[in-house]
Amino acid sequence: MDLVISHVYKDFGRGPVLRDVSLTVRQGETVCLMGPSGLGKTTLLRCVAGLERPESGSVTGVPERLGYVFQEDRLCENLNPVSNLRLVTPALSRTAAAEALAAVGLTDCQRQPARELSGGMVQKFLLANALALNPALVLLDEPTANLDYGNQFRLLWQVRALADSGYTVLLSTHNPEHAFRFATDVLVLREGGVRAFGPAAETLTEELLREIYRIPLTVADIPVPGGSVKGCVYDA
């Protein structure tokens, strides 16, 4: 079933955060939300998750099995990752919880209390938690926050594999490279409205990225085995 966001308007009393936002995400697609900080990406994800109610517009096609990771998500510091996962998802057996953690690369720290985990490990735990009940739709709010460069791409390859397996993924990011390499399409928000939407390679032009992030940059073709991908070179 397609996720359909139709003419969503959201206002917290300080002016609109979302203005007439519409988007259709088809099953198996990965759509990146991009735009300056504080201008609606997280709010849109929360509207899809049912954690915020828009003043007008609608969100339909949200499946019952929904997984999400938001920036404010936390763990119980005194419990290990397996116990944390079962605390949030009691239906999981200890074996199933351990397997869910291993699937995102958390194997050697399953007995450690959460307070000893690095920021990157916590992000991986949150992804495991989002996937624990095999959701049809996964919402990820800046999932690579607190990850080093290598682990950013390892996590996003896992996200890409999810989409290839039929999951639908909607995620927010500030990094154009993430959209170029892993997204089916990109939705760019500007001042609460849709600034642009389409395939990342066609939509994220130099002019648009300079407008959004207010830095000089060049979009270039970067050679990779078997071809090339788009990337950004920051002008001095």
Give the domain CATH number at 162: 3.40.50.300
Burial annotation 69-87 (CB, 10 A radius, 16+ → b, else e)? bbeeeebeeeebbbbbbbe
206 contacts 183 by C-beta, under 8 angstroms: no
Q: What is the pLDDT of residue 236?
A: 66
As for how many domains the chain has, the answer is: 1
Averaged in consecutive runs of 10 residues, what is the pLDDT profile of the chain (236 residues)? 94 92 94 90 95 96 90 83 89 88 85 87 86 88 85 84 87 92 94 94 94 90 87 82
Cα distances (Å, whole numbers) of residue 200 to 69, 88, 144, 146, 197 = 23, 35, 18, 24, 8
Q: What is the pLDDT of residue 173?
A: 93
Q: What is the pLDDT of residue 51?
A: 93
What is this structure's pTM? 0.89
Q: What is the pLDDT of residue 196?
A: 96
Q: What is the pLDDT of residue 61?
A: 95
Give the residue numbers spanning the domain of 138: 3-234
